[in-house]
Chains A and B, each alone.
Chain A
C-alpha cells in the first residue's frame, strides 16, 4: 500500500551548475541562476510556470541571514510563494521532501527546490564546530571530521582489509566522478594506487585521510516537482516519487560507548527499515537499480551500505571488493561520483535526488548505468544523525 494519501508527484526537471572549489567567476545569486535556468530548460518551462520555490543552504557557512530574500534575482522567486529550509547536510533532501509534500497536499501544482552552497565563501569546519554546545563540546570537537567509523571497521575486519575496502570505495567514486562533467574532484585514480594511497594520503583524524574525505565545493542544484496531471501533460519522462522518510535523533554526545549490551540506534538502518516495510520491499539490494548515497567520506560510504541494504557480516565489504558498486555492477552506488567528489552542502543532498532522477530517465550521459533503471534510491545525511531517504520510480505502478 502506498504511503501517500493524496496526489502523486513527479520530478519533471533537474539542473545543476559545474561544481568547483572556487566559483569566483560568479556571485551567489548568479551561481544559483545557472542551476535554475538549467532546470527550467530541462523541463521546457519558464519561471512563470513555477507556483512556489523552496530554497535552502546552511546559513552558518556563508554567514548570510535570509539568503532566500537576497537571492531572489537568482532564484526567480520574486512575487512568488517561497519557503526557506535549513537542516544541515540533509538540506537538499529536505527541500525535495518539502516540495513533494507541498505538491502532494494540493497546495501547489509545480514547485521548484533549489539548494546551493558556496563553501569557499565561509568556513565550513568553523560552521559545523559552532553547532555543538558552546559550554562544553565546541572546544573539543572536530567538525565533520571523525575517524570513528574507520576505527570501527578496522576493529571488525582487521586493518589491512578495512583500509583496502575503504580505498577501493574511494577509487570507484573517483572513476564515476571522472565520467561526470559537473563533478568537482575527478583525479583519475586507479586501483593499483590502493596500497600507496592507504599509506601516503595525509591523515586528518585517525585513519580518516584527506583522500577519504568529501570535497568543499561551490555549486547549486534545482529540481522541479509537479502533480500527476501536470507531470503527464508537461513531461515525456516524469520520475515518480514513491515515498520519502526523515529520521533523526539526539546530538552526538552519547554514541561512543562501544558496548555490545548498549547498541546504538542507527538512523540509516531505522529509516530504511521503516521506509521499505511500508512499501513492502523485502530485499532492497534486489529491488533498487541504483543508489545515490550521501557519502561524506569513503569510510562512511563503505559502512553505511550495510545499514541501508540490511546486509550481514562482511557482505558490504564484498560488494565493494567485487566492484559490484561500480556503474556496471549489480548495485551501482553514486554513478555521479557522490559527495566525496562534489559537496556544495546545501545542494549536495538535492544532487542525490537529481542524479537518481536522471538515472531513471536515462539522461545521465557518460555516467548513465547500462541497464534500465526502474527503481532508484537517494539519501541525505547530516548532523546530528539525520537520515532522509527518497524512493523514485519510472512507472506509477505501486
Chain B
C-alpha cells in the first residue's frame, strides 16, 4: 500500500543508506517492526553495522514496534506526529521501550525521491537530529542554549547541556547561557546547509546573539555538521576539508635597544628614547626614528603616570597570538600619553577591565582620564611586568 506516495518497503529499503553509525554507537540489539497488513521487518544493529531483513520471526528482538502502514509511513515522512501516535495508542512498543528509543538517532530522515524538503521539514529535521549530533568532548560542562527561530516555519527550542549530555526541548528557557535569534527560518536553514555563513546573517541584522557570544561561535564544534538528507542517495564528488591546528615554538631576541627598555620595566621604570631630529619619544624604544631615519640614542625616563588619549573598546574575542588564549571581552586597549611625552608619543597598554567604562580620551589641550600602571610583583622584563593601567585617583 502507498501512503502519501510512499510504500512501507521504501522506508526499509533505504534504511542502509540512511544509517548513521555515529548514532548507533554502543548499541548491539535487534529491533522488530510489525506493520499491520504490510509485513514484518527486523533490523540487526551491531558494532556500527546495520542489517535489515524481512522476516516473520521477531521473537529474538529486544523491542518490537507495532502499528499500521499509514502511521508508520506518516511518522517517517513527518506527516504524523510521533508523540501523538504513541499517546493515542496507534503505535505500540512491545518489549524494552528504552532500547527502542535508541533507534531514533540511528537514521537520517527519509526523503521521498525528488520531492523537495520544505523549510519547515528542514527545521524539524535539524532539531530532530540535534541531540544525535552532540559532541560532548567539545561542549562546556553546563550550558542552556535557546534557539528562537522566527517566521511561520520556525519555533523555539532549548538545548540543555549538562555533564556531557544534551537534552532538547521545544520550549523557551527564561534563563539561558546564550540565545540565538533568527528572524526567518529560511535563513537558518541556509546557514545549516552551508549556503550562507552565520556572520552574514549577524552582519545584516537578520540574526542576533544574546548572552555569551563566544559560546555561540563554538556551536559548530559542540554539534556535528548537519547533513542535508536531500543530498543523500545521489552519489556526489566528496569534497574534503582537512582541519589542522599547528603549534610552533618561537623565540625573539630583543636586541640592545628593546632589551634596555624591557630591562627597565623590571625596575618599574618606563624608558623612551628621544629622536635628536624631531624630538619625539619612541615608546617602546627603537634604534632608529622611523620618520626621520636617524639613530636615536638619548634615553629619557617617562611616566609612569599619564593620561588616556584614545582607547579601543574591544568586544571581538581575538586570540592572543603569543599564548593562543582567547581574550576576555570586552577589554580596553589604550594609547596613553605618559607624563613627559607629547603629541603622538603614546604608549599602548591595557586598562583594568572593570574600569573601561569610566575612561575618557583626551584631545588637543583637553586631558583624558589620568591613569597609573599596576606592576607585577614578579617582573621578568616583558610587556606584562605592567599588568594594566588603572585610574589614578
Tell whether A142 pairs with B344 under 8 Å between CB atoms, given A21-B200, A211-B204, A211-B205: no
Residue numbers in B under 8 Å from A146 (CB-CB): 312
- Closest CB of chain B to A19's CB: distance in Å? 13
Residue numbers in A under 8 Å from B160 (CB-CB): none
Interface flags, B328-345, vs A, CB<8A=1, else 0: 000001010100001111
B364 on interface, CB distance cutoff 8 Å: yes
Which of B254, B315, B346 neighbours the largest number of chain A CB atoms within 10 Å of its CB? B315
A141 on interface, CB distance cutoff 8 Å: yes
Which of A21, A140, A146 neighbours the largest number of chain B CB atoms within 10 Å of its CB? A140
B258 on interface, CB distance cutoff 8 Å: yes
A201 on interface, CB distance cutoff 8 Å: yes
Within 8 A of A (CB), among B238-267: 239, 241, 246, 250, 252, 254, 258, 262
Surface stretch bound by B, among A70-78, A125-133, A349-357: A125-133
Tell whether A261 pairs with B343 under 8 Å between CB atoms, given A22-B194, A134-B252, A254-B282: yes
Residue numbers in B under 8 Å from A24 (CB-CB): 239, 241
B348 on interface, CB distance cutoff 8 Å: yes
Residue numbers in A under 8 Å from B239 (CB-CB): 24-25
Among residues of A, the one whose C-beta sits closest to the C-beta of B309 is A258
B101 on interface, CB distance cutoff 8 Å: no
- Closest CB of chain A to B367's CB: distance in Å? 11
Residue numbers in B under 8 Å from A233 (CB-CB): none
Within 8 A of B (CB), among A101-144: 125-126, 129-130, 133-143
Residue numbers in B under 8 Å from A135 (CB-CB): 252, 254, 258, 262, 284, 382-383
Asked whether A258 lies within 8 Å of B200 as measured between CB atoms, the reply is no
Which of B197, B202, B318, B322 neighbours the largest number of chain A CB atoms within 10 Å of its CB? B318
The CA-CA distance from A147 to B316 in the complex, in Å, is: 11
A203 on interface, CB distance cutoff 8 Å: yes
Q: Is the interface of B mostly helix, strand, loop or mixed?
A: loop
Residue numbers in B under 8 Å from A201 (CB-CB): 202-203, 205
Asked whether B345 lies within 8 Å of A258 as measured between CB atoms, the reply is no
- Closest CB of chain B to A138's CB: distance in Å? 6
Residue numbers in B under 8 Å from A142 (CB-CB): 312, 314, 316, 318, 333
Size class of the A contact interface (CB-based, 8 Å)? 35 or more
A250 on interface, CB distance cutoff 8 Å: yes
The CA-CA distance from A273 to B213 in the complex, in Å, is: 44
Asked whether B321 lies within 8 Å of A259 as measured between CB atoms, the reply is no
Interface flags, A212-253, vs B, CB<8A=1, else 0: 010100000000000000000000000000000000011101
The CA-CA distance from A21 to B241 in the complex, in Å, is: 14
A262 on interface, CB distance cutoff 8 Å: yes
Asked whether B205 lies within 8 Å of A147 as measured between CB atoms, the reply is no
- Closest CB of chain A to B213's CB: distance in Å? 7
B82 on interface, CB distance cutoff 8 Å: no
A64 on interface, CB distance cutoff 8 Å: no
Residue numbers in B under 8 Å from A145 (CB-CB): 314, 316, 318
Residue numbers in A under 8 Å from B284 (CB-CB): 133, 135-136, 253
Among residues of B, the one whose C-beta sits closest to the C-beta of A132 is B321
Interface flags, B344-382, vs A, CB<8A=1, else 0: 111011100000000001111000000000000000001
- Closest CB of chain B to A268's CB: distance in Å? 17
The CA-CA distance from A187 to B350 in the complex, in Å, is: 36
Residue numbers in A under 8 Å from B345 (CB-CB): 254, 257
A151 on interface, CB distance cutoff 8 Å: yes
Residue numbers in B under 8 Å from A148 (CB-CB): 310, 312
Asked whether B312 lies within 8 Å of A147 as measured between CB atoms, the reply is yes
- Closest CB of chain B to A241's CB: distance in Å? 31
- Closest CB of chain B to A163's CB: distance in Å? 15
Tell whether A254 pairs with B344 under 8 Å between CB atoms, given A25-B239, A138-B322: yes
Among residues of A, the one whose C-beta sits closest to the C-beta of B196 is A21
B18 on interface, CB distance cutoff 8 Å: no
Residue numbers in A under 8 Å from B362 (CB-CB): 258
Asked whether B316 lies within 8 Å of A204 as measured between CB atoms, the reply is yes
The CA-CA distance from A364 to B48 in the complex, in Å, is: 55
Residue numbers in B under 8 Å from A151 (CB-CB): 310, 361
The CA-CA distance from A185 to B199 in the complex, in Å, is: 10
The CA-CA distance from A138 to B275 in the complex, in Å, is: 24
Jot down 8 A-B pairs with beta carbons below 8 A, ordered by A: A136-B383, A145-B314, A151-B310, A151-B361, A203-B313, A254-B346, A257-B309, A261-B343
> Contacts A250-B290, A254-B345, A256-B310 given; 10 further ones with Cβ under 8 A?
A22-B194, A133-B284, A138-B322, A139-B383, A140-B349, A145-B318, A187-B204, A249-B291, A253-B282, A257-B346
Contact residues of A with B, CB < 8 Å? 21-22, 24-25, 63, 125-126, 129-130, 133-143, 145-148, 151, 155, 185, 187, 189, 193, 196-197, 200-206, 210-211, 213, 215, 249-251, 253-262, 264
Contact residues of B with A, CB < 8 Å? 194, 197, 199-200, 202-206, 208-209, 213, 239, 241, 246, 250, 252, 254, 258, 262, 280, 282-284, 290-291, 309-310, 312-316, 318-322, 333, 335, 337, 342-346, 348-350, 361-364, 382-384
